[in-house]
């Protein structure tokens, strides 16, 4: 077993080799053990074009690692007696409704925070739109569940958006103000923010990158735009509506302060930020997971989701962790209570697992385990997933029937299609070819068979080749609806838009 000195002397070479394997620009990493920072630094380039290096104070978007912050806020409010995690949310926001009658009556903050509402993501109902947080909470009444209430873990950003909205209604303050007051300030997280403008003004921030291949390719680094909501307005104190689910920008040093608060049972220095009992509650598994969002591996057992944290046993030790991914950034925030160890890692590459691999490599060192080979295992896992993409697409399109043609003249498919809770979808002709205007993007369509077309480009994070099914009215025969698999979870139905 290597000593700490030996391991950390070799780690820069391990990290640089991992970035090369993944064709990723940079990674910022922080490690805290027994209350002392063991490592805080960066590897690679936070800005490839300008050859700017990453370090422990480089700001990254942490994406869904934000969720534990919102859960912690709920816990702090519960400590103060302002909310009860087990009380139906109807008490706090009676105007918000869920489509499932049981969920509508019984859903609690704990249900929202543990992804057990039965709702799938419905990601493309908000992505690229100008809906406000209030509108997004209101739109939840239009979303069909794909699983029964409280029976299945099903990741859903809307649960966290609604949780943040509930805290706003109770306090009269914005989620952003609450994060600053109750978490950033007491934890001395001075560089962390929730405004893109503030991050971009900081001289030490990472630029977003992605691989050229859509749907999980691992080569071809290219710079892409930051995720930005047209609603966000720093001068007016308005953050992105997605905020409670994934909008924090932070660095390794600040995030070590955050995970150390959990390791210290809710304390930052002499300040009890959140009660010990609430730390226990928020980090306790609430629902089993049978659909890991991470690399399936025999070292991990008892996969559950707590409140804002994935709770599992890694090599026999309880590990609380959460990943994040948003437009050119991927993150990993974690801690292992019985080792009094916290590890954070962030990269400016979209849908990349290099930071997961490096974090687990560090855990292996402190656990005295060898042979994890995490960098290559994660790389092979993503490659295999990408190679399976054509097979997965076939499940949505079915086998192509050759020598077929659309049932109507091509111009009759054009028009505006509408669905409650989603933004309008416009189908129009461009140089004799159908194109789709949706969520701020223009996507070309190719004929597949009969009245089914497929996307030639990506839609958000959905790969090219996704089907667009048109249907005609029973009376009159005119094209009336458009259906797409925008909900890809098991049990999810095609999302139907009606021509208006």
Tens-place pLDDT, residues 428-443? 999 999 999 999 899 9
Rounded-to-integer distance, Cα 409 and Cα 30, Å: 59
What pLDDT score was predicted for residue 388?
83
Exposure string for 408-417, b = 16+ CB within 10 A, e = fewer: eeeeebebeb
76 pLDDT above the threshold of 60: yes
27 contacts 44 by C-beta, under 8 angstroms: yes
**Which residues, 6+ apart, have CB-to-CB distance to 20 below 8 Å?**
none
Instruction: List Cα–Cα distances, 136 to 104, 142, 164, in angstroms.
Output: 16, 10, 11
Q: 299-332 pLDDT, tens per residue?
A: 999 999 999 999 999 999 999 999 999 999 999 9
Residue with the larger pLDDT of the pair 306 and 460: 306
CA nearest 347: which of 362, 334, 329? 329
Q: Write the burial class of residue 428 (CB in 10 Å: 0-12 exposed, 13-18 middle, 19+ buried).
A: middle
Q: How confident is the model at residue 215 (pLDDT cuts 50, 70, 90)?
A: very low
In this structure, what token pair is assigned to residue 52? 């700017």
Q: What are the structural domain ranges in the chain?
A: 4-387, 400-499
Strand stretches in 339-478, DSSP E: 341-347, 415-418, 425-430, 433-438, 441-449, 452-455, 467-472
Asked if the domains 4-387 and 400-499 are classified in one and the same CATH topology, the answer is no
413 contacts 470 by C-beta, under 8 angstroms: yes
What pLDDT score was predicted for residue 400?
95
Region 389-414 average pLDDT = 93
What pLDDT score was predicted for residue 370?
87
Least-confidence region, from 243-257, 274-288, 446-460: 446-460
- The size of the chain, in residues, is 500
Q: How confident is the model at residue 214 (pLDDT cuts 50, 70, 90)?
A: very low
What pLDDT score was predicted for residue 428?
97
What pLDDT score was predicted for residue 39?
98
Fold of the CATH domain 4-387: Beta-lactamase (3.40.710)
Exposure string for 284-318, b = 16+ CB within 10 A, e = fewer: ebbbebeeeebbeeebbeebbbbbbbbbbebbeeb
CATH architecture of the domain covering 400-499: Beta Barrel (2.40)
Instruction: List Cα–Cα distances, 76 to 71, 124, 203, 277, 282, in angstroms.
Output: 9, 31, 33, 11, 11
Instruction: List Cα–Cα distances, 459 to 20, 161, 389, in angstroms.
Output: 28, 22, 15
Q: Write the burial class of residue 187 (CB in 10 Å: 0-12 exposed, 13-18 middle, 19+ buried).
A: buried
Q: 64-75 pLDDT, tens per residue?
A: 999 999 999 999
Region 211-219 average pLDDT = 63
Model-level pTM?
A: 0.96
Rounded-to-integer distance, Cα 460 and Cα 480, Å: 25
Rounded-to-integer distance, Cα 478 and Cα 413, Å: 9
DSSP structural state of residue 411:
G
Rounded-to-integer distance, Cα 11 and Cα 17, Å: 10
Instruction: Kindly report the average pLDDT of the chain as a whole number.
Output: 95
Least-confidence region, from 82-96, 211-225, 391-405: 211-225
Phi then psi dihedrals of residue 375, to 5 deg: -60, -50
């Amino acid at each position: 077993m290597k000593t700490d000195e030996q391991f950390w002397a070799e780690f820069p070479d391990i990290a640089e080799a991992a970035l090369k394997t993944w064709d990723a620009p940079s990674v910022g990493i922080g490690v805290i053990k027994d209350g002392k920072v063991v490592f805080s630094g960066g590897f690679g380039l936070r800005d490839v074009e300008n050859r700017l290096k990453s370090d422990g104070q480089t700001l990254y978007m942490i994406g869904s690692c934000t969720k534990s912050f919102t859960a912690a806020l709920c816990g702090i409010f519960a400590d103060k007696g302002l909310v009860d995690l087990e009380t139906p949310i109807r008490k706090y926001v009676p105007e918000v409704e869920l489509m499932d009658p049981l969920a509508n009556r019984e859903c609690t903050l704990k249900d929202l925070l543990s992804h057990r509402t039965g709702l799938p993501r419905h990601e493309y109902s908000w992505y690229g739109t100008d809906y406000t947080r209030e509108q997004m909470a209101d739109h939840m009444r239009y979303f069909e569940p794909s699983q029964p209430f409280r029976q299945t873990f099903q990741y859903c950003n809307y649960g966290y958006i609604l949780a943040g909205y509930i805290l706003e209604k109770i306090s009269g303050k914005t989620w952003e103000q609450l994060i600053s007051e109750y978490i950033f300030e007491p934890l001395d997280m001075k560089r962390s923010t929730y405004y893109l403008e503030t991050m971009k003004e900081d001289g030490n921030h990472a630029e977003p990158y992605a691989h050229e291949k859509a749907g999980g390719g691992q080569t071809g680094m290219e710079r892409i735009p930051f995720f930005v909501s047209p609603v966000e307005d720093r001068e007016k104190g308005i953050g992105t509506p997605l905020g409670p689910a994934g909008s924090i920008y932070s660095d390794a040093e600040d995030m070590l302060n955050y995970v150390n608060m959990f390791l210290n049972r809710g304390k930052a220095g002499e300040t009890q930020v959140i009660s010990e009992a609430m730390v226990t509650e928020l980090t306790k598994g609430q629902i089993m997971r049978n659909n890991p969002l991470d690399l399936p591996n025999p070292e991990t057992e008892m996969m559950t989701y707590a409140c804002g944290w994935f709770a599992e046993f890694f090599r026999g030790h309880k590990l609380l962790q959460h990943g994040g991914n948003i437009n050119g950034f991927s993150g990993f925030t974690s801690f292992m209570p019985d080792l009094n160890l916290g590890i954070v890692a962030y990269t400016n590459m979209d849908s990349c697992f290099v930071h997961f691999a490096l974090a687990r490599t560090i855990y292996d060192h402190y656990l005295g385990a060898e042979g994890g080979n995490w960098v290559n295992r994660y790389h092979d896992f993503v490659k295999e997933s990408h190679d399976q993409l054509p097979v997965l697409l076939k499940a949505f399109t079915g086998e192509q029937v050759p020598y077929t043609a659309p049932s109507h003249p091509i111009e009759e498919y054009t028009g505006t299609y509408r669905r409650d809770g989603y933004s309008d979808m416009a189908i129009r002709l461009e140089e004799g070819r159908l194109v789709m205007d949706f969520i701020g993007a223009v996507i070309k369509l190719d004929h597949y068979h009969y009245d089914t077309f497929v996307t030639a480009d990506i839609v958000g994070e959905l790969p090219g080749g996704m089907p667009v099914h048109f249907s005609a009215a029973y009376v009159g025969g005119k094209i009336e609806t458009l259906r797409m698999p925008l909900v890809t979870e098991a049990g999810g139905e095609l999302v139907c838009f009606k021509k208006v």
